[in-house]
Amino acid sequence: MTRVNPELAKELEKFGAKSATVCFNCGNCTAVCPLSNNSTPFPRRIIRYLQLGLEERLLGRMEPWLCYYCGECSQTCPRQADPGELMMATRRYLTTRYDWTGLSKRLYTSKVWEVFCVGILFFATLAVIYLFHGPIVTDHTKLETFAPADIVHPTGYVFGAVLAFFLLSNVYRMHKFIMRSGERVNAPLSLYFSELGTLAVHFATQAKLRLCTNKSFWIKHWLLMSGYTAAFILVNVDLVTRWSLTDSPPPAWHPAKILWTYATIAMLYATTVAIIGRLRKREPIHKYSHSTDWMFLILLWFTVFTGLLVRIFMQFDLPLPTYYTFAVHLALAVPLLGLEVPFTKWSHLAYRPFALYFERVRERALQLQQPPQEEEA
């Protein structure tokens, strides 16, 4: 039995899906999409679910995560129903449904909540730094003395563990939705291990996006993703090796430093281009900006920029600017990571590859279930 939620399309409007009812189901979007194929056809199927209010089926579909919003469907839609934006809004909606805390929904549907939460974390971080920072040395830049590693690193561990907990518990709920939808699947545990490659490959290469006609999207997106991943790894490595948070920073040719430079340039370039694009609104992907899109870009841009400033100030041995900028850098990074990664836009970093991974596991499990039926026939 299928339960229908007649309010589904209306609910999605809050996430930016304003034109789902305009669609007359001609199928242009699905055929024009370079990523859509016969085993996972979209966007029309998803739009149909919105129109019919098939909430449970929508929750179990991973197609929204396959769409990278190249915008060809929106450009050619005869009804100007903006299928690309409908897919984007569905991703926002799904993010709130995967999240069990309810915070995600508040962040997506209320600008007040969004600004309030970012503000709280920003000022709380500044307060913590104000209360717990080490001695301020002014004749030389001694960042480690200002921000003692034995405080910063444990805090980082706890913060990271909390984020991972929220994100992974949401991924688990996503898994439940996908496995429960349609034909019932009991996937053996071994499949989850043997298909881990899918997860890794899609996370690292974003190969699906390369199928889009406009290749520049893939390059920009990959720069951003790889820059972020590099920064993430370096921060973690730093927790062990303590190579950056030190009073005597390593020389410029240090491999870790080269990687940092790459991460900074890649992220700064990609976010700047995205901000300009969203202001110009020329490409379909940049035509509609949800408040969370802006928040994400602004936080990320300033985080990277202040990080760069810290390095420059350290290089020129300017103690006070270094400490202040570092404090602001942390105060921006905390809401960026704390809100964007598990609850809003950045969670797609996990959902996209996991969607492909779960779908693959599901597909293989269905294949394993099938042979006995064939013998009967």
Partner 1 sequence: MPEGYDALVVGGGIAGMEASLTLGDAGFDVLLVEKEPSIGGHMIQLSKVFPTTDCAGCITTPKMAATGKHPKIKLLTYSEVEGIEKTGKKFRVRILKKPRYVDENACIGCGRCEQACPVLIPKEWEYGLIGRKAAYIPFEMATPKKALIDLDNCIMCGRCERACPKEAINFLQEPEEIEVEVKAVIIATGYNLFSPEKKKEYGYTGNLTVIHTSANPNIIHGMQMERLLAPSRPYHALVRPGDGKVPERVAWVLCTGSRDKSVGNPLCSRVCCMYSIKQALLYSSAVPFGEAAIYYMDIRAFGKGFEEFYNMVRELGVEFIKGKVAKIESRNGNPVIIAENTETGEIMEEEYDMVVLAIGLLSNPEAVKALGVELDQYGFVAQPQENSNPAVTDKEGIFVAGTATCPKDIPDTVAEASAAAAQCIAYLEEVGS
- Which residues contact partner 1 by CB under 8 A? 24-32, 36-38, 41, 44-45, 75-80
* CA proximity to 302, closest of 280, 331, 323: 331
**Shortest Cβ 236–partner 1 spacing (Å):** 42
Contact 308, 325 (CB under 8 A): no
**Shortest Cβ 35–partner 1 spacing (Å):** 11
Based on CB atoms, which residue is closest to partner 1, 76 or 109?
76
**Shortest Cβ 85–partner 1 spacing (Å):** 15
Based on CB atoms, which residue is closest to partner 1, 39 or 190?
39
**Shortest Cβ 24–partner 1 spacing (Å):** 7
Based on CB atoms, which residue is closest to partner 1, 75 or 241?
75
Based on CB atoms, which residue is closest to partner 1, 41 or 134?
41
Q: For residue 264, which amino acid is it?
A: T
Based on CB atoms, which residue is closest to partner 1, 24 or 172?
24
**Shortest Cβ 26–partner 1 spacing (Å):** 4
Structure tokens belonging to residue 40: 């996972």
Q: CB under 8 Å to 49, separation ≥6 — which residues?
A: 8, 55, 57, 58, 61
**Shortest Cβ 80–partner 1 spacing (Å):** 4
**Shortest Cβ 50–partner 1 spacing (Å):** 16
Quote the Cα angle for 70-86-176, to 5°: 100
**Shortest Cβ 219–partner 1 spacing (Å):** 24
Helices (H), 53-195: 55-59, 63-66, 72-76, 83-98, 103-109, 111-132, 143-146, 149-180, 189-194
Is the CA virtual torsion 191, 196, 201, 206 positive or negative?
Answer: positive
Based on CB atoms, which residue is closest to partner 1, 45 or 290?
45
Q: For residue 90, which amino acid is it?
A: T
Based on CB atoms, which residue is closest to partner 1, 41 or 156?
41
Q: How many residues does the chain have?
A: 377
Phi, psi of 63 (to 5 degrees): -55, -40
* CA proximity to 290, closest of 104, 109, 102, 161: 109
* CA proximity to 249, closest of 168, 338, 140: 140
Based on CB atoms, which residue is closest to partner 1, 45 or 221?
45
Alpha-carbon dihedral angle through residues 23, 26, 31, 36, given to the nearest 10 degrees = 50
**Shortest Cβ 374–partner 1 spacing (Å):** 23
The CA R_g of the chain, rounded to the nearest whole Å, is 23
Based on CB atoms, which residue is closest to partner 1, 9 or 81?
81
Contact 234, 263 (CB under 8 A): yes
